[in-house]
Each structure stands twice: as C-alpha cells, then as structure tokens.
Structure 1
Amino acid sequence: MTTTVKALMAECGVAFGTSGARGLVTAMTDRVCYGYTAGFLRFMAEQGEFAPGGAVALAGDLRPSTPRILAACARAVRDLGGVPVFCGYVPTPALALYAFGQGIPSLMVTGSHIPADRNGIKFYRSAGEVLKADEAGMSRQEIDLDGGRFDADGMLIAAEVLPPVTDVEEAYVSRYINHFGPGALTGKRIGVYQHSAVGRDVLARIVAELGAEIMLLGRSDVFVPVDTEAIRPEDVVLGREWAAEHHFDAIVSTDGDSDRPLIADETGKWLRGDVLGILCALRVGATSVATPVSSNTAVEACGQFAHVVRTRIGSPYVISAMVDELNAGSACVVGYEANGGFLLGSTIPGKLGTTTPLPTRDAVLPMLAVLTADATSVSAQLATLPQRITYSDRIIPFPPEASAQLFGQLTAGDDAAQIALQTSLFGSFAGAAQSVDLTDGVRAHFAGGGVIHLRGSGNAPELRCYTEGASEAEAVALNSAATAAVKALMGL
C-alpha cells in the first residue's frame, strides 16, 4: 500500500514537530517508524543528501522500546538501498557530531525527557537538524508500507538485526578534552547524577579524564523522566542532600538522550538552563546569541552581547536564527534554550586547537564552561548576572483541546484587548499587564516586574507555565498563582 507521510501521521496519531516524531509507544509501531524513516530518506534523496549505497547513522536512548524502534528504522534504511551505521546507545550530540563529520543523514531514537510510555525519532540532515522548512517536504513523501513486512499489529514479521556498533564515543570525549585541556578540572569534586541518561557513563568519563574526583550517584535500571526545564521535586531534594553529605563543587547530569544539561552548584541547587546558557555564551566570547522567547531576560540585561535574537521555542527556530546571524557576519554565534541545550554555531579556540561548530543541542559544553571558569564557585558566577530568576511548571493533564480553548480566549482581539485579558486573569497578584508577546504561546510582562508565559506542549498533554521575577520566591509564587488562575478559568 502506497501512502504519504502526512496520511500516516493522521492515521497513527504520532505527531511530527520541532523534536521529530513523537508519540505513545503503542502508537509507534514498526510500520509507523518504518514509514517515517522512509519518508525522511526520500526527502533526503530529493535534497541530494542520500542515494542507494549511502550510509545512514542510527543511535538510541535507554528506553525499553528503543531497540525495537531502531530495528524498524534500520529495515527502512536497507529497503531504500542505504547502509545503516549503528552508533549504539549514545548521546544525541555524539551521534550528530559523527554524522555531520561524515556528511551523512542520521536519526536518533529517543523521547528525550518524556516518560517511557512514549518515544520518538529525531532526524538530522547531513550537516544539521531537520528544520521547520523541511517538514512539508517530508510530509508529502510517498512511502510503500506493503510488501508483507508487517503483521496485523504493524510489527515486523522478520526480525531485523542491527549491525555491529560503530564507535562515536571517542571523538565526542576528545572534543571536550581537547577544548578544555587535560587537567582542567583538577582539584574539583564532582557528583555525576546518572539516573537513566544514555550519556551517563560518557559524562562521567569526560569529567574524570579532565582531572576531577567524581562520585557516581542515582544510577537507575528503570527509565527516569528527568526534565531539565521542569525539575522534579525529588531531584531538588536529592541535589541538596548529596551536596550536604559529600561536599561537591558541583553535581552534573543530563536528560534522557543527554543533549540537555543539568548542573547544581556547591549547595546542590540546580541551575536554570537559560542562566547556564548565558554563562557559557560569556565564556566562549559570543557576539550573537539566539534563544527562545521563554528564556531569562538577563541575557539582554547583562549587556555583554552585541545582538540577542528571540525565537519561537524549539532548536530548529534557534538554528535558523543562528544561520541568519552567521550570514550577517557575526564573529561568534551561539544559541541556547531554556532547557539548557547549547548550540555552537562558530569555530572557537580551545586549549589544544580549535573546536568546530556543533549546531544541535549539547549538554557537555555549557557544564564544563562553568566548571572550568576562574570563579571560585558556581554560585559566584551566578552572582555576576543581573538577578532575574525564571521558574517553570506544568499543568498535567492539559489536553490539546483545552490549550486551544485557553489560547483562543487569551489571543482574542487587538493588543489592547489581549492586555486587558491578561490583567483580568493575573492582575490581582501580578499587577496590570503592560505588553503581550505571541511569538510562541502567550507571554505577558506586568507592572510588578513579573513575566508570565503560557504555552501548550507539542508532544504531551500538558500546559507549560514559565514565570520570571526579581527573586526565586517571587518567580515561584507567580507561577503557583498563575497556574491556579488558569485551572480556575478552565474549571480544572
């Protein structure tokens, strides 16, 4: 049966967005994953980036469903005449670094930070991420899902065996050893929170090879959905307990596919990813910074960057803005997201040569940039920034239809009407709304100095609420009041 990727999306309910294809594991059958991969490769063929006999790199995270999905993707590669190169279970940026270096397409089977009952596939072109402009090209591809490959449940009838692992870890480790220099962390005592992150051993190895004394913490054989943008209360407690007991200089970790960093200071307090991004941008000497509209406003307030570009949320939007800055001649272009994922757009000097661009989320560079800085502590570096504190939380469950209803109300009318709606909903605790930004969701600035930003999730039934204030207590209180106001409005 011949169909299109767009028709397959509608049939299976597995959405395609800024992070690739994501959905419930039960919906991501072998047939669906095969179809998405086939559509991706047909689009790559149109773009001159794939041809019969060409290699396609694959890797995955540690979710129970990942090996099965990888096998279905590998079958699609073979059936389209390609050669699957299995890179093992490694961080997404390690896969990207290898594939970009080889000039070949790649895909990563991961659901990132979302729970294990869901999974996904991230697609990469031969030199960078699949961008929003590419989605239409992938969606219209015709794919053959017949041929007796699948049973009635959409699973492969004949098992697909993945090829032997091609090592990509060594190059990834060497990138950071060469950039920061051997011994860069000598004298540091670092905790490595491993949980179920695919890069848990690679991260520990890098930190140790840079000279730090390390202690491994919290390793789990069960998948743990660590979200660096909405840190779990239990992880807040763990960070503080570990710091008090072991007297670390810092604790480091990542999300599930290890492209988003998580670092705690010497007290065990986890840093916000958008603040970590500012510190890293300063350390590498960035002249232009691209970051989503949800990120902390200290990036502008610090006055250290020639140009700050605000984008919609999602790495494809950040990358597009970075490309524009590079084309405009900016000397050192970087990007980062509120989740901490850092994107390097320019070549920068390192201790043992130059470090090449890696225009996809990376967790290691920003954490090491902070750990190797001259300041006496992580908290001391934070103290140098304007004190604007961000906080985020979620309303779960919050189905897509509820998001559509909420944003329909909040965006009705002209600017004055939208400001009045924000004041009506949040004014009793935030003050009068002064401006509304609809770049991505609804973000309002208030007379009291606070910021409230609401956004529906593209891959889960939840509503994100980002808040910003002059102190952590203010940001947390604002978030709590804002989510309560939304629940009351929606009758939840």
Structure 2
Amino acid sequence: MSPKFGTSGLRGLVTELTPELVTSYVQAFLRSCDVGSKLFVGRDLRPSSPNLADIVMTAAQNMGMTAIDAGEVPTPALALTAQQQDASAIMITGSHIPADRNGLKFYSRAGEIAKKDETAICAALEKPVQAVAQGQRVSDPEVNSRYVLRYVTAFGSAALAGKRIGLYSHSAVGRDVLASILRLLGAEVTELGRSETFIPVDTEAVDSATRDSIRTWVQLNGFDAVMSMDGDSDRPLLADENGKIVPGDVMGQITAEALDADTVVTPISSNSGVSAKGFANVHLTRIGSPFVIAGMQAAGGKVIGYEANGGFLLGFEATVLIGTLSPLITRDCVLPLIMTLVAAGEGPVSQRVAHEPRVITVADRLQDVPQVRSSAFVGKLAQDPEARACFLAALGSTEQKTDLTDGVRMYLTDGRVVHVRPSGNAPELRLYVEAQDEDAANATLALGLNVLRSNLA
C-alpha cells in the first residue's frame, strides 16, 4: 500500500518510505503545525526504524530545528517528554503491523495531531522549502526515566506489592521500561518470550499461539497476571490469573471508573457495556486515536478516552494512590495495566473483570487483504441492504439496524452485533463481534471470519 495516514499516523511499506517521501512529510508537518523550535525523535525496535529516524532528524535540521534523538522509547514516553518540554515529536513506528511496514506518528506542541492537522500536512507537501541555517542534533537519554517517574511518584512503591506478574516482552520497545515500573511499584516480575527479531503483536486481536503461550505460562508459574504490549508500547495486553485475556475496552472501563472520570470518549467498536456504568457522558467516535482526541477536546472536564485495543488517553489531572497524574492525551499502555490490578485489590483480576456489565466483545482480522478489495466489500455492505441480508443469513440472523459511523456495524435481531471494517493501517479486514455470552461471541467471530473469507476469495 502507498504510505498514507491511517487510524494513527502515516504508515506504509518500508520500501515505499523513501528518504524523499519521509523528508517531504516531515517538512510539511513542521511548516503546517505548531511545532516550536525543538523536535524529539523516538523509534521502536523494527530493523528499519534507525534509518528512518536519521532521515527525520536530518529533515528537521534542514528546517532549522533542533533535532533531539530520544532513541528507543515507547510512544507515550516520547509524547510525555515533548509535552513537558513544550516541544514537538515524531515517533518512528509501525505499531502492531509486520516489520515490512513502518510509519511516523506526529506530535505538535499541543500533543498528538488530529485529522485536521493531517489535512494541513497533506496540503503542504508540495510547498517549496526555504533555505535556513542548519539546526543542531543532540540526544536526550532521559525520556524513559521521566516516564517511569510519572508512575512511581503517583502510585508509590507498594501499589503492586505481593503481585507476581509475567511480562511477555517479545520485541516491544517498552519492555524494559514496563519491567522497571512494575518492580518499582512492588511487583515480582518474570520476563517471558524476549525476542531480538521483531514480532507484530496486535493487542486487539491476539492470535491463538500467543493465547496458548500465556495460558501455559500462568499454569506453570502461578502468576497473578501476564502483561504485554504492542511494538511501540502504547497498547496494553493483560491476561488474568487463569491466562484469560482481558479485553482492552474492559480495562478502559475499569480505569475510567477508578479515576472517577465524568466523561468517556471511545470508538463505536468498543464494548457497549460502558453505557451501563453510570458515567455522566459517553461519546462514541470513529475508530482511531485522532477521533477520540477530537471528542475529548470537545467534551472537556474530567474526560478520558480509550480504544478497543486498550490504548488509554487521560484528559485531566487525576488523583491516584499517593499522587496525581498529569493529562496525557495519547495512547498509553501503562495506566490501564496498573489501574486494573490496583482496582482488583487483593482479589484476583478475573473477579474485578466479572463486576463489569455482561457484554462480551471479541475481534480478529483477515490479513493480506488489499485495501481496495476490503473497502469495496465493506462499501457494498454499507450501500446494499440485500448484501447485508445475505451476509447475516450466513450467520443465522437478520438485521435490526445498521450504523455506518465507521465501516458497517450491524445490530442483529437476536441481540448480537457484527461490525466489519477495513484496517486504516494495513491490508487487513477487521471483524468485531459483541454478544451476551462468550461462547456466542467466539462462535460468531469464527463463523463471520469464514463468511468474509469466502466472500473475498
């Protein structure tokens, strides 16, 4: 796929992220957004990321900016430092997608850019660059330390005392940072599955092999929980004491309640149980952090955002165990991981999860589906009631109503929900399912994937 903006940042094949293309996007960003005089540049652990980071820093220097090399850091750690330094930032990452792809996430002085900023960047791509004095290049080795300090000072050294946690570190850039935070909060941490080869982990659609590994680790070690994250460490993965994955949006519900938020902003694909939890306001958006951020900015007050992938966005200064957390309006994996365990108290994680409204959400995707094909298929579902009826007949139900906010979300007469949507970041077709019990949700997901596969064959 040609590089383009997706649900969060610019993404594309590494072979298409040429020096010329990357330079043009970086310089368009610096011309069209409020970036200040300093640009922090971080990267994940993909093989292509160091070279792309060098291209980004050179492009910024050629615009007269001071380029600050943050090294290998989680995306939320980079965003936090940029926020504290009143600076802009670019994270080199393809997030959870395979290593043959990569991308750039942009942060202005105001934080993660919104869709209107993406439009402005695209409009500025063809504008000429004026010659200016060459900017400096320096490094900042303290980005990860500041991120660790954020959580240690707010939660304290006893927050997770007595907890035995398995950390599936794989190739996540934040693996050592998360381990440090957990240990400093009192947990006993055992590292699992560290890899020097990049592994794409999708926290929203955890593959069966990873689920099996997590269950085995729990059975062998008696962990209270297993934690992990995606490649750039802004999306959390949590499994309970039985090795069962806790959905990211359920973590979001628990964390929002624990922080005493008034308003929740979340994509339409998230667990609908949030509407039954008593928050003053629940706003549903299109899928992607820019849409969530726009909704949070419009709402104001004690607002939080989260996505089905578990990424959590804090929109107000929140009081936690021994201190406060400043707002951080970008996807963060650490806060929901810690807060869910804290909310469980001395009891098991599964017990706290069981207190949430009984709505089960599951998701998966068909991979290697060209976007032109997935978009055409979803477009036909959106426009043609007969196409939807045929699709749902294969699932043994009929349509009650349909929501076209993002993709096609079909509410079935038997109470299930089926949501089909092309990925904004990769050649994938995503399927989200909601039901009142786990067996029905998983059966519908498996059947739905097979029906999609046959339609796209």
Q: Mind listing any 5+ residue stretches in structure 1 that lack a counterpart?
A: 1-11, 148-159
Deviations 1:439-463 (A, max 9, x none): 0000011111111000001121110
Residue 440 (structure 1) aligned to one of 383, 391, 406: 406
Deviations 1:300-340 (A, max 9, x none): 13x321111000000010011111110xxx4x210000000
| Aligned twin of 2:151 | 176
Instruction: Normalising by structure 1, report the TM-score.
Output: 0.89
TM-superposed CA distance for 1:88, in Å, is: 1.4
In 1: Cα distance, 2:293 partner to 2:283 partner: 11
Residue 88 (structure 1) aligned to one of 53, 66, 71: 71
Residue 16 (structure 2) aligned to one of 12, 27, 32: 27
In 2: Cα distance, 1:146 partner to 1:324 partner: 36
Percent same amino acid among aligned pairs? 45
Contact 1:430 1:450 in 2 (8 A): no
Structural mapping, 1:336-485, within 5 Å: 336-373=306-343, 374=345, 376-412=347-383, 418=385, 421-485=387-451
Residue 111 (structure 2) aligned to one of 118, 125, 128: 128
In 2: Cα distance, 1:405 partner to 1:17 partner: 17
Residue type of the alignment partner of 1:412: Q
| Aligned twin of 1:319 | 293
Residue type of the alignment partner of 1:282: E
Structural mapping, 1:100-115, within 5 Å: 100-115=83-98
| Aligned twin of 2:2 | 13
TM-superposed CA distance for 1:485, in Å, is: 2.0
In 1: Cα distance, 2:375 partner to 2:231 partner: 29
Residue 59 (structure 2) aligned to one of 76, 98, 101: 76
Contact 2:43 2:93 in 1 (8 A): yes
Residue type of the alignment partner of 2:365: R
Residue type of the alignment partner of 1:388: V
In 2: Cα distance, 1:253 partner to 1:465 partner: 23
Contact 2:95 2:231 in 1 (8 A): yes
Contact 1:14 1:23 in 2 (8 A): yes
| Aligned twin of 2:31 | 42
Residue type of the alignment partner of 2:121: M
Q: Which one has the largest radius of gyration? A: 1
Shift in alpha-carbon separation, 1:471–1:194, aligned structure 2, 3 A: same
Contact 2:155 2:323 in 1 (8 A): no
SS at match of 1:393: strand
In 2: Cα distance, 1:398 partner to 1:324 partner: 35
* Alignment length (residue pairs): 452
Residue 229 (structure 2) aligned to one of 227, 240, 254: 254
In 2: Cα distance, 1:367 partner to 1:379 partner: 14
SS at match of 2:365: strand
CA RMSD of aligned residues (A): 1.8
Residue 305 (structure 1) aligned to one of 270, 279, 293: 279
Residues 1:295 and 2:270 are matched in the alignment:
yes
Instruction: Normalising by structure 2, report the TM-score.
Output: 0.95
